[in-house]
Amino acid sequence: MPSSKQINIVFFGTPELSIKTLKELISAHFNIVAVVTQPASAKQRSNKLIPSPMAKFADSLHIKIFTQAKIDDYLIDNLTTLKPNLFVVVAYGNILPKKLLALPEFGTINLHPSLLPKYRGPSPVQTALLEGETQTGVSIMLLDEKIDHGPILSQITLPISNSDNALTLNQRLFDQGAILLTNTLLEYLKNTKTALPQNHSQATFTKLIKKQAGLIDWSKPAELINRQIKAYQPWPGAYSFSQNKIYKFFSSNIIEGCDLKPGEVYIKKPDVLVVGTGNKNLQILELQMAGGKRLDSKTFLQGLRDNKLFFTTHPEA
């Protein structure tokens, strides 16, 4: 089998989370012939186009970049001329069609942040947190034309801590996954790693997250709302309304006591802010009012002019 220096890799990735894997592949002396990433997106206030984190990183290393919203014949033709031996996909944001997957002789390797076949699809980390899982993991797999369906080369299991949210858990999974993918690839190219088919009868599927998913229904148990707050960071964020203003919540604790109705707020300065739910209560530790800064509860309460908060699922007239 060829050495890593002889392997031409096209890397597909978009967010900051995918950069660690590309760094590991470069450190292992793989030849990165191109990066494919999502197009620049408009910044909300200025409408200025901002390249993806991966595009910025690849540009800093003078790697050839393709910014594609859609995989078309133009991209496939250009990648064909690069004579890739292997594709690596890490949080790219598009499904690779069969025609593209057929190009590299050693196939396409993907990093997926779950213990496949559990939690296939676009939101495995968020779903693990919503379901109250105590552990998750990373799967390194060979892609086929179906979503997260291909055979698995390697897996690692990682614990989920009480302090984890989607931001911290994603970071840990992709950091560990970057190392696992690179080591797995080196073994795979030496013919010492065998891909094993998934047990498709045990597959579970996750959904694409929409902004509405972050809206808190305070009639639900505190445990579920607490998971929601963790799962939807940084996007779409867990949020609610009070007095026609939107509030986002970043961290909380489940507590007993305080006989409160769902959405009713109990305040005891300097730092106690508790919201009633359908079962038990939620002490809010960090929050943000629209137009304001993210604050801990003590700082937020210092600036609160009245104690008339009552959280609902809709803006109040």
pLDDT of residue 1: 64
**pLDDT at position 317, please?**
42
Class of domain 211-302: alpha beta
The domain ranges of the chain are 4-202, 211-302
At 262 the pLDDT is 96
Provide the CB-side half-sphere exposure for 35 (13 A, CA): 30
Going by DSSP bridges, is the β-strand pair 265-268/245-255 parallel, antiparallel, or unpaired?
unpaired
Mean pLDDT by 10 residues, the chain (317 residues): 85 97 97 96 77 97 93 95 97 94 96 98 98 98 95 98 97 98 96 94 97 97 98 96 94 90 95 96 96 96 87 80
Q: How far apart are CA 232 and CA 208, in angstroms?
A: 12
The CATH number given to 4-202 is 3.40.50.170
* Cβ-Cβ contacts under 8 Å for 11 (sequence gap 6 or more): 21, 22, 25, 32, 34, 35, 36, 58, 87, 88, 90
Cβ 224 vs Cβ 235: under 8 Å? no
d(CA 104, CA 133): 36
